[in-house]
Amino acid sequence: MPWLSGICTLWLLGFVVLAQNFNVVSPQKNVIPAQNFNQRTGLKTDCLGSYMRLTVDKSLAFGSLVEFDVMNGSQIEPLTPSLASKCGFSIDSDPWGNYRVFASLFNCFAENEDDHLFDINMRVRVRGVKAEQDVFQVEKTCTHDQWAPREVLCDRNYMEVSVNRLPGEITAMRRQPKMAERQAKGDYQWPDTVSEAITSKYNIWRMVFFTPKQKAMVLEDALKAGYGVITTKSRLVLRSGFDMPETYVENVNGIPMKVIKVTTYFKRQWSVTMLDTVAACPVGGLSFTDEMITWYFPRVNPLMTSTEANILGMFMGIDGSQIDSAQMATRGYILTIEGNNIVMKIPIGGPDGYYKSHAVDNQYNIRYYIEPMLQLLWSEGGMDSTKYRVLFPIKTPFMPRPPQFVDLTDVDKRMFDVILGPFLYDVELVNITFSAGVLTLAEANVRGFNIQEQRFQNGSKAFRLQVPFSDSFVVRTQTDLLLTVYNLRLVYGFMIFPESISFSYIATVDVTLQDITLPTVGGSCDKEKFYITISYGNLGKNFNIMLGKRDLTPDLSAEYDIKENVSHMSLVVPFLAFDVAFELMYPSSLRARLDVLLWEPVNKWTLSDFSLACNFPMTMTECFSNGSMSALAVKVESVPQLNPSQLTLRDHSCRPKFSNDRFAYFSYDANGCGTTRKFYDGVMMYQNEIILGNGPPVYQQGKSGVTTLPPDPEYRVTVSCFYTLNDTQTIAFFTKPRENEPLPETGFGELHVVLRLALDGSYNNFYAEEDYPVVQYLRSPLFFEVVLLRSTDPQIELVLESCWATLKEDRISTPRWDLIVDGCVNLADNYETIFHPVTPGGVPYPSHVKHFEIKMFTFVQNHVMLQDQIYVHCDAVLCDANQNDGICKRLCPSPIPLKTGNKVRRDATNDQNQKAQLSTGKILLSAS
């Protein structure tokens, strides 16, 4: 091991940065005129002690890519990261595109004049969108001659140490004893002029790196490995990137420091000189609270050979420039010594730094960035002093800033109104994903969503979005019959610029409103159809329609004449349509009902339940005067199982003439099919029943021995034809098993009983209506016939209850003369009324006919003939041929002439309607 030659250099106490902003910047080729170049281009250079700062303003680049070149003489070298850390450059930019380049004055390419004047040549290239680029040349001369014996610079990407390589005389003297030793060995030469020479670059024999194990390299290998080693007129400069293999981390008071430690051996002839170069730069020591950054730096650091080192100066800077205590105070910066540490405190959020957005696991975070500088000057006794500078970019840890989602929705305006924020300046809203799709901002605004960016005073912003409830992107859910939930689900798509990092934010906003107008149904009927109108309410046609028991399908729309517009639907349903239910049968009408149910298909809610029942005229029973009858049986909804084809009359062999699944039509005669006949008070009623043809009702013997009726048959319609003498009444009793509403109704038919005057006693020819007045001689016979026309029922007997003559046409006028009273000839009549028997041979139904004869007479009052005319009237009733009481079987006394002027008024029956009231036309007495 050669003997050591430590070097102690001249020291400078205090250092003044002699910096003049003396920029020489000229355009290289295309764009920029020479004058006022700085302002126009936004390029600025500052000499800041041992380095130069080049600032490229964002206005120069407008977000384009900016690249830097260095000039190695006339050669242009792109400034790559490895070249930068090897050669003493660092580049940094902020989100706006402002660049800050630091160049050590001892960088590889500076033209160094006596370690006093440094010329730095660089180029700035701005690459535009089209491959064109603008190139600016930057030339700067910095003057700096206040070099401390040792200067350490911790830049962002490298550590640099420079030491005075020219040992002063004192040093040489001090080392003399050792040199004397060497001299004694014969290899000593008094270093009068050799100092300069021996520590020159060309004498570098080897370099020993402490990692902390020793590792020796020759200069060439060290340069090849990426270390920067240069000698200047007075100094040896060593530069190393932070991640070079021969660096190591040393923990100092818990603060990690990166160390590069090299001893350089210079050898010339017999002499070896060594220079120690050590740089140690902090790579930690930060602690953060929400408001404050605290940076701890060890007061005693590996660069100090003893703990006695005396700190002579301690300064703070920002972005590479030193600031004074007044500036520090306004910003709230603090720089103190606390115990073993130098402590710098920086409030988070100050204007010297900036915030930046980050997406961390898709969560919104921000960070605060600031680049303080710490500058120390210490001396370790005697004249050794070190000037130490750290450019220390700090970024706080990620600070989660979940944005606030503020719901300002105005229900009255039916508009979602939400604000999301705050976000930093560098966040842009790119798109919004709705449940139905994605819209870019522009698309959303076109759609009317009114997206606004709101700015706060501090530059933060928030995004406001308005979406009408009515938009189809709003999901509407009906939670019950009347409540609607309007739901807006949003995924905001954000992008952080300039890095183009995206993140998203999911938000949901709900409004529940009772704003549903349910659809309604209305309707009316005429004689044939139901007219239904459905009004949709405010949800449109979101319901299904059930008519009766069926859903209304599109195929039925023609059948029911469905018409629709945006708000209404109408349909017309004939009363015999399949979907109509029959409630009740009446003799001449059918009560039919249409049920309309509106229901919501998803939740099966009933929205409207409407029924309309009307009576539709319909002939159910017809009673013909010849005794034929027809009846229609209808399947009513209370007997759902009924098969109409199985219906019969009482006589089960009498089946429907026609049937389908809802109707059975019967046609039968009074004489057949089990039709019964009833007479009472001159009224005749035919009756039959329509029943299920499963055998006649039978009486059963119950267990108790009591006779009980079997349960009512399921279906029984009693059909009655009800005849009085000149009209027919039909009555259909519908007997239902359980209902309380068998409603008989009466319909009217025709039955003709006539009173007519025969030409003679043969009763073959009769006067017609137009023959009246008929003229007859006094006491000549008048032959009257009363006949029930058309009926074919032999069981009916026509009975004349009374006949009389009047002077006037009015049948109840006076004077009047009784001819037949209570079915018998008027015994008081002088001119006897004569009944003539009707022989079976002459007419088909003799019991339907009565013949009687009177003699023409006139009314006389006080022996004065009143007028020469009469009218004849009869009341006739129908009787059962087998009946034996009342007028029908009255036995008349033998015709004994009784002289009496009293006319007998009898009230055979009070009910005039049950009699045929018959009258002739005028019969005139022949004047001749």
Ligand X SMILES: *[C@@H]1O[C@H](CO)[C@@H](O)[C@H](O)[C@H]1NC(C)=O
> What residues line the site for ligand X (CB under 6 A)?
72-73, 75, 87, 108, 355, 422, 430-431, 438, 456, 458, 460, 493-495, 502, 565-568, 570, 624, 626, 628, 669, 726-727, 792, 913, 917
Q: Would you give the DSSP letter of residue 769? A: G
Report the residue number, 123 or 150, with the smaller CB distance to ligand X.
123
Which residue reads 């080897």 in tokens?
206
Min separation Cβ 366 and ligand X, Å: 7
- Closest by CA position to 897, among listed 816, 828, 834, 814: 828
- Closest by CA position to 155, among listed 350, 317, 345, 324: 317
| Paired tokens of 679 | 């007479």
- Residue pair 570/729 in contact by the 8 Å Cβ criterion: no
Report the residue number, 404 or 867, with the smaller CB distance to ligand X.
404
Q: Would you give the DSSP letter of residue 182? A: H
Which residues does residue 578 pair with via DSSP β-bridges, in sequence order?
none
Which residue reads 């049937």 in tokens?
659
Report the residue number, 300 or 491, with the smaller CB distance to ligand X.
491
Buried b or exposed e, range 615-640, using 16+ CB within 10 angstroms: bbebebbbbbbebbbbbbbbbbbbbe
- Residue pair 464/526 in contact by the 8 Å Cβ criterion: no
- Residue pair 675/718 in contact by the 8 Å Cβ criterion: no
d(CA 268, CA 265): 10
Which residues does residue 39 pair with via DSSP β-bridges, in sequence order?
none
Distances 598 to 73, 476, 518, 536 between C-alpha atoms, Å: 92, 20, 10, 10
Report the residue number, 438 or 768, with the smaller CB distance to ligand X.
438
Report the residue number, 495 or 782, with the smaller CB distance to ligand X.
495
| DSSP per-residue letters across 1-69 | -PPP--------SS--------EEEEE-SSS--STTHHHHHTEEEEEETTEEEEEE-HHHHTT-EEEEE
Helix, strand, coil share (%) of the chain residues, nearest 5: 10, 50, 40
Residue number of the CB atom closest to ligand X: 493
- Residue pair 214/206 in contact by the 8 Å Cβ criterion: no
| Paired tokens of 61 | 């680049």
Report the residue number, 87 or 757, with the smaller CB distance to ligand X.
87
Which residues does residue 368 pair with via DSSP β-bridges, in sequence order?
355
Min separation Cβ 761 and ligand X, Å: 27
| Paired tokens of 792 | 């074919």
Min separation Cβ 750 and ligand X, Å: 8
Where do the DSSP E strands lie in 450-555?
452-455, 461-468, 475-478, 484-496, 501-513, 520-525, 529-535, 544-547, 550-551
- Residue pair 827/896 in contact by the 8 Å Cβ criterion: yes
Report the residue number, 566 or 891, with the smaller CB distance to ligand X.
566
| Paired tokens of 304 | 């100090």
Q: Write out the H or E segment, with its range, that includes residue 883.
A: none
Report the residue number, 93 or 913, with the smaller CB distance to ligand X.
913
Buried b or exposed e, range 549-580, using 16+ CB within 10 angstroms: eeebeeebeeebebeeeeeebbbbbbbbbebb
Report the residue number, 89 or 486, with the smaller CB distance to ligand X.
89
Alpha-carbon dihedral of residues 770, 775, 779, 780, nearest 10 degrees? -70
For the purposes of burial, counting CB atoms within 10 Å of the CB of 705, is it exposed (0-12), middle (13-18) or buried (19 or more)? exposed
d(CA 826, CA 74): 164
- Closest by CA position to 123, among listed 170, 61, 84, 78: 78
Report the residue number, 289 or 764, with the smaller CB distance to ligand X.
289
Report the residue number, 460 or 646, with the smaller CB distance to ligand X.
460
| DSSP per-residue letters across 55-114 | EE-HHHHTT-EEEEEEEETTEEEE--HHHHHHHTEEEEE-TT--EEEEEETT-TT-EEET
Report the residue number, 50 or 107, with the smaller CB distance to ligand X.
107
Those residues whose C-beta lies under 8 Å from the C-beta of residue 585, and which sit 6 or more positions away, are: 591, 620, 632, 633, 634, 636, 717, 732, 734
| Paired tokens of 691 | 């029943």
Min separation Cβ 780 and ligand X, Å: 29
Min separation Cβ 340 and ligand X, Å: 35
Per DSSP bridges, beta strands 923-925 and 774-776 are parallel
The three-state secondary structure class of 862 is: coil
Min separation Cβ 486 and ligand X, Å: 24
Which residues does residue 287 pair with via DSSP β-bridges, in sequence order?
294
For the purposes of burial, counting CB atoms within 10 Å of the CB of 224, is it exposed (0-12), middle (13-18) or buried (19 or more)? exposed
| Paired tokens of 398 | 């990620």
Min separation Cβ 888 and ligand X, Å: 19
